Amino acid sequence: MKTLKNWTLSHTDNQQVVLNVEGRHQMSIYVLEPEMFRVAVKREGHFTLDRTWGIAPEQDVPWEGRARDSLEGFSLPGFTLEEGDQTLTIATDVLKVTVHQPLWLEWHHRLDNGEWAPLACDRPTSAYLMNPHGDGVAHYQRRMADDRYYGLGEKAGDLMRNGKRYEMRNLDAMGYNAASTDPLYKHIPFSITRRPDASFGIYYDNLSSSWLDFGNELDNYHLPYRRWEAQCGDIDYYFFVGQRVLDVTKAFVRLTGKTLFGPKWSLGYSGSTMYYTDAPDAQNQLMNFIRLCEEHQIPCDSFQLSSGYTSINNKRYVFNWNYDKVPQPKVMSQAFADAGMHLAANIKPCLLQDHPRYQEVAQQGLFIQDSESDTPERSVFWDDEGSHLDFTNPKTIRWWQNGVTTQLLEMGIGSTWNDNNEYEIWDGEARCHGFGQPVAIKHIRPVMPLLMMRASMEAQQKFAPEKRPYLISRSGSAGMQRYVQTWSGDNRTSWQNLRYNIRMGLGMSLSGLYNLGHDVGGFSGDKPDAELFVRWVQNGVMHPRFTIHSWNDDHTVNEPWMYPAATPAIRSAIELRYRLMPYFYTLLWQAHADDEPMLRPTFLDHEHDEQTFAECDDFLLGRDLLVASVVEPGQRERKVWLPDNTTGWYDYYTGQWYSGGQWIVLDAPLETLPLLVRAGAGLPHSERLGYVDTREDDQRELRLYPLQGPGVTCGMLFEDDGESWGYQTGNALWLNWEMRCDSTCINLCLTPKGDYQPAWKTLKITLPAGESRQLLINGEPADHWQR
């Protein structure tokens, strides 16, 4: 690739500054927000791909993509422009960038005292590279000694990315190692750099396969650097600053689209296994799951039908029911509904070459086309070859939505599980319809799963417009949070994967994927032993998505009752999740409404505490619940660092208070997941339920964890009917609370808002054991509150 060196100022307007680079190319520096700039290089004055599907600052993008030149949704503040000798400086009140000659950019941010401080800069030698004869672009930045790198979505290994190289290429990494396997399923080239006085994010809006290096590579001829390189497409990145890492994560979600607010039941336990639907008597196996949940008193809200229900001779054919295995789909669906369980069915975007409808689809031109002939592309897929559906073709979208409607929704299956959608098409030049503007798959591979899930979602919305949709997708790109809940794919059973899936989930959450989880117990390999299974379930119930899913090598099934002696511990963990359902649901609301991550590394709320940046197995669920999962065999005590929050922490079970900023050791018998609660918090609880049913959920408790000294804290409880759009017109309950503590009194002020009347009429208020101060509610002595 050739280095871009020489530039001149071309022109400027109230949105951007445009440079002429090497007399052939254009670099546009857009000022989008006071704290967000965009840098885009147009090869020969034009974008290679003139559309984007990832940028959605106010509303979803059109099906055909958002025009890459569009600046809709940004405030476009004023900026200053200063020309110097061989430099150009563009600044807002918050952020400024200096363009140097030869071409490299230097970033500063404004401190509270008004001074400008260095934030980041490109490598002064060869910062921007482009292949003049075709594909390939790269961007190099300086790597500073005190940088900490995070993000990149779904990645293996430690949460901090320093010293590693990663590849963005959607891949079906079945049986991966969560400590080392790369690449994986998702494409999110977004990184967070945490520096001592600020943090910044960079999102490369490029959908081709790419590589990001954070210090793995060294070159004697250059200062230490970090690198982004893409197979093809454009250099087009968003640079934004935040005082905290949290600010950067939230800004990225606002940039790429808000988190879908799914139904409440989607936070319940979801059963799944390949074994049931692969069995010749699949319907009997599935119906037996309902009976076993009742027999073992396991709360459950949904079940995911693996793809075996579509099989012909052990191969899988989307939208094809195997009526020998499942002779009565509607009867089966009704049985699950009667048990309070929702069904989500697995669907795949590739038709095997002997699919009963393959020729029909090929004749309609609904597949991605081979690069050298007028035939569908062929790729390896599930033990055969097949052709991938082209979701940039409106006819394909209609065909898919008809399949979702007639083969699933009308069968009583209300949700879709969009799976195996990595689009492993090795012919990079394979042709996509592109909504009338043909484009090679190499430019938009991750867009295909994004459009697939959107097609499924809109089919569900049309079929049941009064209900909020629920979908799952394994693959995708930035912006997929607008449509789906996701998970970390087909992990392998091991203690190591339990540990590193925690880090993987936190990395996804920092990258905007808030509604996530893992295959609890491990998807592939040997079945987990009883201890590992218990610990995996205890960890899993503290993630937004909780699914036990498996395809064990020995044909066993990961089920809550698989080890009778361990079943009480499994049941207890799942019951704990259901008691905390009001807290989970409030977190989901805050993720949607306020862009707050549900899973949080401990440093996210305690950046002043250096110890919280150390790699660990702890995480926060919301701001208030510290989860200390046990991830080592035989461990019956758990050493935990309590983040220094000035207020302290309570043991969830005993109510004992500890000051922050210290190590403690908690008992961790096999039956117990160590949990701590931030002092000043209030955790809403429900009674035990068999499944989410707002009509029967008639008990509510707010457990207060008061400050030891004087101070004020606040929080919220969100309630609605759990599935409609009523909250948009005020038919919900936002119960805001404020807790004022002093040496003698705890004064709780409750302020309801909204029209919704929950099944519970009385709110029970409880305090930790040993708390002797008087409790006042809205200024009156009381221990209950009634609307």
Question: Which tens digits make up the pLDDT trace of 737-772?
Answer: 999 999 999 999 999 999 999 999 999 999 999 999
Task: Report the percent of the chain where pLDDT is more than 90.
Answer: 98
How many angstroms separate the CA atoms of 72 and 77, rounded? 13
Q: Residue range 47-69: average pLDDT?
A: 97
C-alpha to C-alpha distance for 775 and 785, rounded to whole angstroms: 12
**Residues 756/721, Cβ–Cβ less than 8 Å:** yes
Residues 6+ apart with CB under 8 A from 229: 136, 137, 138, 139, 210, 211
At 454, the pLDDT band (50, 70, 90 cuts) reads very high
**3-class secondary structure per residue, 595-609:** CCCCEECHHHHCCCC
Q: What is the mean pLDDT of residues 400-417?
A: 98
Decide: pTM greater than 0.85: yes
- pLDDT, residue 786, reads 58
User: Can you name the residues that pair with 669 across neighbouring β-strands?
Assistant: none
- pLDDT reported for residue 383: 86
User: Burial level of 64, CB count in 10 A (0-12/13-18/19+)?
Assistant: middle
Q: State the DSSP code for 46.
A: B
The reported pLDDT for the residue numbered 170 is: 96
Three-class SS state of 418: strand
Give the strand pairing for 342-347 and 415-418. Answer: parallel
Whether 666 shows a pLDDT value over 70: the answer reads yes
Alpha-carbon span 654 to 737, nearest angstrom = 24
Strands 236-242 and 311-312: unpaired
Span 277-300, average pLDDT = 97
Q: What integer pLDDT is reported at residue 260 of this predicted model? A: 98
Q: Which helix (H) or strand (E) holds 530?
A: helix 530-540
Q: How far apart are CA 605 and CA 584, in angstroms?
A: 18
The end-to-end CA distance of the chain, in Å, is 68
Q: Where in the chain is the domain with CATH 2.60.40.1180?
A: 605-678, 682-786
Instruction: Count other C-beta atoms under 10 Å from residue 117's C-beta.
Output: 13
- Does pLDDT of 787 surpass 70? no
Are the CB atoms for 405 and 333 separated by under 8 Å?
A: no
Q: How many CB atoms lie within 10 A of CB 294?
A: 12
Per the structure block, which two tokens stand in for 602? 């401990």
Task: Give CATH for domain 2-152+188-256.
Answer: 2.60.40.1760
Taking phi over 0 as left and psi of -120 to 50 as alpha, with beta for the rest, 156 belongs to beta
Residues 354, 548: Cα–Cα separation, whole Å = 32
User: Which of 419, 382, 452 has the alpha carbon at shortest distance from 306?
Assistant: 419
Q: What is the reported pLDDT for 188? A: 98
Q: Which residue has the higher pLDDT, 689 or 393?
A: 393
Average pLDDT value for residue range 326-355: 98
Domain spanning 682-786, CATH architecture: Sandwich (2.60)
Q: What is the dihedral of CA 675, 677, 682, 684, to 10 degrees?
A: -10
For residue 476, the SS3 value is strand
Q: What is the pLDDT of residue 688?
A: 80
- CA-to-CA distance for 600 and 582, rounded, in angstroms? 18
**Per-residue pLDDT tens for 218-230?**
999 999 999 999 9
Q: Where in the chain is the domain with CATH 2.60.40.1760?
A: 2-152+188-256
Q: Is the pLDDT of residue 785 over 70?
A: no
Q: Is residue 708 within 8 Å of 721, Cβ to Cβ?
A: no
Rounded distance, CA 584 to CA 598, Å?
8
Six-digit token pair at 149?
A: 């790198």
Query: What mean pLDDT is reported for the chain?
Result: 97
- Superfamily holding 605-678: Golgi alpha-mannosidase II (2.60.40.1180)
Q: Which of 327, 462, 335 is CA-nearest to residue 405? A: 462
The helix (H) or strand (E) run that includes residue 526 is: none
Residue 242 pLDDT exceeds 60: yes
Distances (CA, A) of 234 to 36, 231, 621: 19, 10, 37
pLDDT tens for 159-172 read 999 999 999 999 99
Over residues 386-391, the mean pLDDT reads: 98
Q: Which residue has the tokens 């559309």?
A: 51
Confidence class for position 783, pLDDT limits 50, 70, 90: low
Token pair for residue 223?
A: 């200062």
For residues 500-526, give the mean pLDDT: 98
> What is the residue-wise DSSP string for 143-155?
--TT-EEEE-SS-
pLDDT at 784: 65
Q: Is the dihedral of CA 232, 256, 544, 290 positive or negative?
A: negative
pLDDT value, residue 390: 98
Structure confidence by residue, pLDDT tens digits, 671-704: 999 999 999 999 999 998 899 999 999 999 999 9
Q: What percent of the chain has pLDDT over 70?
A: 99
